[in-house]
């Protein structure tokens, strides 16, 4: 969900829920593709869409109210969905789930990005940052 504030436009301002594909609809301009955009990029996109035909000099502010959860599986004490927090690392995400099991490989994780249509598994260091919707798998070590 995002909160969109358009200065002096209470009929346009409000909370908007994104669908599973990262789209939502706004008055006058219709469907908006927000997947993969930062709040600043989405603000600029909305300004561009409203400026030519609807608003003279739109001032738009976007606040992300909540993000898609990330998911943990594998050699962690707690599995399942967890609430995303901006700036968290994979190590922090694992700590939020109770930490590694004794059998875990602790130096890297396997990640599937939610916005990757190919759903490719990528190997990342535990100090890299989580993205909303990530599926994070901690592998079992051999010895």
CB 140 within 8 A of CB 108: no
Q: What is the pLDDT of residues 74-120, one digit of tens each?
A: 999 999 999 998 889 999 999 999 999 999 999 999 999 988 889 99
Average pLDDT taken over every residue of the chain: 93
Phi-psi category of 52—alpha, beta or left, where left has phi over 0 and alpha has psi -120 to 50?
alpha
Task: Tell me the domains of the chain and their CATH numbers.
Answer: 2-64 (3.30.1950.10), 70-138 (3.10.560.10)
Q: What is the pLDDT of residues 18-41, one digit of tens each?
A: 887 889 999 999 999 998 888 999
Asked if residue 57 has pLDDT above 90, the reply is yes
> SS3 of 3, please?
strand
Asked if residue 52 has pLDDT above 90, the reply is no
The pLDDT of residue 94 is: 97
Asked if residue 62 has pLDDT above 80, the reply is yes
Q: Which residues contact 142 (CB under 8 A, 6 or more apart)?
A: none
The pLDDT of residue 54 is: 94
Asked if residue 67 has pLDDT above 90, the reply is no
CB 75 within 8 A of CB 99: no
The pLDDT of residue 29 is: 95
The pLDDT of residue 39 is: 93
Q: What does the pLDDT average to over 110-133?
A: 92
């Amino acid at each position: 969900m995002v909160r969109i504030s358009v200065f002096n436009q209470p009929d346009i301002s409000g909370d908007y829920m994104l669908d599973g594909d990262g789209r939502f609809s706004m008055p006058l301009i219709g469907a908006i593709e927000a997947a993969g955009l930062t709040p600043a990029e989405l603000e600029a996109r909305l300004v561009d869409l409203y400026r030519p035909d609807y608003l003279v000099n739109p001032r738009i502010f976007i606040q992300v109210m909540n993000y898609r959860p990330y998911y943990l599986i594998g050699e962690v004490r707690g599995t399942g969905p967890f609430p995303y927090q901006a700036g968290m690392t994979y190590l922090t995400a694992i700590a939020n789930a109770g930490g590694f099991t004794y059998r875990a490989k602790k130096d890297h994780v396997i990640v599937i990005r939610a916005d990757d249509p190919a759903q490719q598994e990528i190997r990342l260091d535990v100090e890299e940052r989580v993205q909303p919707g990530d599926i994070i798998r901690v592998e079992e070590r051999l010895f």
